[in-house]
Structure 1
Amino acid sequence: MPAPPVELGTPVRVSPLIKLARWSFLIMGIFYGAYHQNRLAKREVGIREIEAKQKVIRDAKLAEEKIKATEEENKMIEGLSSL
C-alpha cells in the first residue's frame, strides 16, 4: 500500500538579498571555472608539445635498440647454425 503524500506546507519566502547573493556566487563560480579551465588548457598545450618532442627521441632510441637486438639475434642464430 503506497504511503500517503506528505504535506510540505507553504514555501518560505527567501530574502531578495539572499537571492542576489546566491545568483552572484553562481555567476562568479561560472566565470572562475571558465578562467581556470582556460589557464589549465594553455598549460596542457605546453606539456603536450614537450611530450611530442620527447616521443620522437624515444621512438628513435627504441628503433636503434630494436635493430641492435635483431642483429644480436641473427649473430646468435648464425653461431648456432655453424655448429
Structure 2
Amino acid sequence: MSQAPVRVSPLIKFGRWSLLLVGVGYGAFHQSRLSTREVKIREIEAQQKIVRDAKLAEEKKRNAAAEIKALEDLSKPSKK
C-alpha cells in the first residue's frame, strides 16, 4: 500500500535550484575574499617573524653571556 510520489510544483523546484545556485555562488565569493585576506595576513606575519627571530636571537645571546659570566663568578675562588 505504498503511495505514489507527490508531484512537486515547478515553481518550488525552480526556487530550490535557484537558492542552491545562489548559495554555491556566495560560498565561492566568500571563500575567494577570505583567502585573499589570509594571504595578506600571512605576508605580514612573515615580515614580523623576521623581526621576532632577530629579537629572540639577541635575547638568547645576552642570556648565554649572562650565564657564562655567572658561571665564571661561581668558579672563582672567593676572597676572604
Does residue 1:27 correspond to 2:21, yes or no? yes
Q: Which residue of 1 aligns with 2:67?
A: 73
Q: State the one-letter code of the partner of 2:44.
A: I
Residues 1:8 and 1:69: Cα distance change in structure 2 (over 3 Å): farther
**Gaps in structure 1 of 5+ consecutive residues:** 1-6
Shift of 1:40: 0.4
Alignment RMSD (CA, Å): 1.0
Moved over 4 A (4+): none
Q: State the one-letter code of the partner of 2:38.
A: E
Which of 45, 49, 56 is the equivalent residue of 1:51?
45
Q: State the one-letter code of the partner of 1:59.
A: D
**Gaps in structure 2 of 5+ consecutive residues:** none
Length-normalised TM-score, structure 1: 0.88
Shift of 1:8: 5.0
Q: What is the count of residue pairs matched by the alignment?
A: 77
Q: Residues of 2 paired with 1:8 and 1:31: CA distance? A: 39
Q: State the one-letter code of the partner of 2:45.
A: E
Residues 1:8 and 1:53: Cα distance change in structure 2 (over 3 Å): farther
Determine what percentage of the aligned residue pairs are the same residue: 60
